Structure 1
Amino acid sequence: MMSDFAAGFVPGRELSRAFYHQVVAPLAGAVPHGAALIGPGSEVLAFDTERSTDHDWGPRVLIFTDPAAARPLADRIAAHLPDRFGGYPTAFGSDRHPLHHGVQVTDLASFARAHLGFDPRGQITTADWLGASWQRLAEFTSGEVFHDGLGELAPARAALRWYPVPLWRYVLACQWRRIGQVEAFPGRCGEVGDDLGSRLVTARIAEDVMKLCLLMRRRYPPYTKWLGSAFARLPGSAEIGEALAGALGGRTWRDRERHLCRAYERLAALHNRLALTEPLDPAVRPFHDRPFQVIGADRFADALLAAAGPVPGARSPAGSVDQVSDAVEVLTDATRSRAVTRALHPAR
């Protein structure tokens, strides 16, 4: 099969786009369908590099069609795929996944329910939003649509592009609350000589600050491997990033606190620019009468919750599934992630 790629690494989106148009689309013929590169995979979020090609990587396309047409179309495509395309095998796997080709044929409802736990073309409830992990939401709304012959991919992705504003305020509030719960602890741990504990809490705060920045900029934070890369791509993130790097490299708890305070004040200024609440004082302050400087993150959480008003279905201050669990077994399984949020936000 002909392709226009020169020798060297080809990003997965580019490879898969050409694979669809040159190979898969002709095989699909007149069968009405949509085609996209969404779902799992570093190439979906455009984080793939040559290293990614060592397992489970190659030309991939998801074909969405009528359920009755899916099996015959899948068989036709599988029977006529070339062995290689663009210099890469069309069948690939890993030590965990058997060899398979990269064309999946399904219907959008089945894919969405397996990936997210619900079909976004219907009414999206608060439980749906909070029970879908940020990584899964990013995977569904990122990537690329190559063809939308059924006219269903664009509206489904648009529906999940970002939270409704009241729910956005609620999720931001819960993220501020996470910071408020521990913001005094780098100093408190350091004061009693627990330098390692101080470093661990600093690292947790840095992660929560990075995620909050992404959420403020309407970006779903990806999972751990790509969090720093996604944060670095944010416009205007350099100063906060430098402050967090300084905090993580601080030799004493006072060094860490000083750098964290720089990050906090930049974060507070960003909050005020969003105008989701009345402006709040962006200056750090003492933690009660103790000798630790904090931003007073609960101020921001309380203001956001007040501005959001009652959010139907949000029964707990815990937030979305990512804000209560970092377990891979939860965040990568729609049934488990929804079960966690149902426990936190029980229906009345």
Structure 2
Amino acid sequence: MADFTPGLELNAAFYADVVEPLIRPFRHSAALLGWGSDVLGYDTSRSTDHGWGPRLQIFVDNHDVSAVTQVLDDGLPATFRGWDVAYGWDDERVQHHVEVVDIGSWLAGQLGLDPRPVMRVVDWLVVPQQQLLGVVRGAVYADPDGELGSVREALAYYPDHVWRWILACQWQRLSQEEHFVGRTAEVGDQLGSQLVAGRLVRELMRLAFLIERTYWPYSKWFGTAFAALPVAADLHAPLEAAIAATGFPVRQEALVEAFELLARRHNELGLHEPLDARVRPFHNRPFRVLASERFAHACRAGIADGFLRQLPLVGSVDQFVDATDVLAQGRARRLVALYADERSTGPSRERPEN
């Protein structure tokens, strides 16, 4: 086996040395986008044992797809820098992985729709963040018309009003469970208290991604991507302490530190008048909470978009769906109907928690 070279680097050379000379007569763009740890830049030598090697997307006009495909089928070498050019894995047959496609078809396959010329609000809500990362991360090796660059720029992050609404939903999620850590511990359910703490840690990490205006990836690389966020330098220690704690007092102190830190960071965004970033008792109970719904309501109050303002804070697809077979298999698009149905239900009402 050849020495490991990161996929983005290997495929830059594969395009320059092999693919571009073969298809030079055809106007095209070239990139490594879509699925794979190499697209995110997280591949290691471990990645090479499964579905890894020379691969690209070549974007051409639809009328050139067949001709360019034939040129590559006939002209690609058997190996490149010691790696097989044709390879398979699991149910994927052995073949080369230079995909020739028009850009609209590829985007529709990746996102569930072609986002040009514009994404509707509801489209932003049902495209999983990992799928957006598959467009805006990776690498572009050729883009003579700037079309790929324009698409990547347009999808680089949520529009401001969509971001504010998703941010509001994230605070709402935290508000719904932040007091459960103490209540479960109070009745002797230490495992339940640890489980709720783990859920809150994940939601706080997601909040950190939103505050930093960065898409979060799927679970395998979630922690790796989190560690690269500026806020993680301060947030990592209390989150780790909350997970590791074997008793409620230590667990609560760690979560309090994390909640207050992110509340201060949120205030620094300047989205509304600063809110008190200190915790307080949950009603008359001895559980210290931020009352995160305050931040949710303040975020939503500043949203001008009428469609979003009337939606209950149910969140985007990444916030309420965990199933890989929904998020990664193109099924999330079917959830557009959820937001149409929710418009007539009115805002959710909070119920007392016993």
Q: Which TM-score tier does this pair reach, normalised by the shorter chain?
A: over 0.9
The CA RMSD over aligned residues, in Å, is 1.6
1:133-152 superposed matches below 5 A: 133-152=128-147
Structure 2 residue runs of 5 or longer lacking an equivalent are 345-354
Identity of aligned residues (%): 44
Matches of 1:263 and 1:87 in 2, distance apart? Answer: 48
Matches of 2:103 and 2:257 in 1, distance apart? Answer: 45
Pair 1:202–1:345, CA change in 2 (3 A): farther
1:46 has 2:41 as partner: yes
Residue in structure 1 matching 2:14, options 2, 19, 32: 19
1:71 has 2:66 as partner: yes
1:283 has 2:287 as partner: no
Pair 1:278–1:41, CA change in 2 (3 A): same
Residue in structure 1 matching 2:326, options 330, 333, 336: 330
Q: How many Å apart are 1:86 and its aligned residue?
A: 2.1
Matches of 1:181 and 1:96 in 2, distance apart? Answer: 42
Structure 1 residue runs of 5 or longer lacking an equivalent are 1-5
Aligned length in residues: 342
Q: How many Å apart are 1:344 and its aligned residue?
A: 3.1
- SS, match of residue 257 in structure 1: helix
The residue that corresponds to 1:316 in the other structure is 312
Matches of 2:93 and 2:339 in 1, distance apart? Answer: 37
1:167 has 2:162 as partner: yes
Q: How many Å apart are 1:7 and its aligned residue?
A: 6.0
Pair 1:266–1:24, CA change in 2 (3 A): same
The residue that corresponds to 1:199 in the other structure is 194
TM (normalized to structure 2)? 0.93
Q: How many Å apart are 1:298 and its aligned residue?
A: 0.6
Contact 2:123 2:336 in 1 (8 A): no
1:112 has 2:122 as partner: no
| One-letter amino acid of the counterpart of residue 146, structure 2 | G
The residue that corresponds to 2:88 in the other structure is 93
1:210 has 2:239 as partner: no
| One-letter amino acid of the counterpart of residue 33, structure 2 | I
- SS, match of residue 162 in structure 1: coil
Q: How many Å apart are 1:149 and its aligned residue?
A: 2.2
Contact 1:117 1:128 in 2 (8 A): no
| One-letter amino acid of the counterpart of residue 136, structure 2 | T
Contact 2:122 2:339 in 1 (8 A): no
- SS, match of residue 53 in structure 2: coil
Contact 2:217 2:225 in 1 (8 A): yes
Contact 2:10 2:54 in 1 (8 A): yes
Q: How many Å apart are 1:343 and its aligned residue?
A: 1.6
TM (normalized to structure 1)? 0.94
Contact 1:167 1:311 in 2 (8 A): no
The residue that corresponds to 1:3 in the other structure is none
Matches of 2:289 and 2:259 in 1, distance apart? Answer: 8
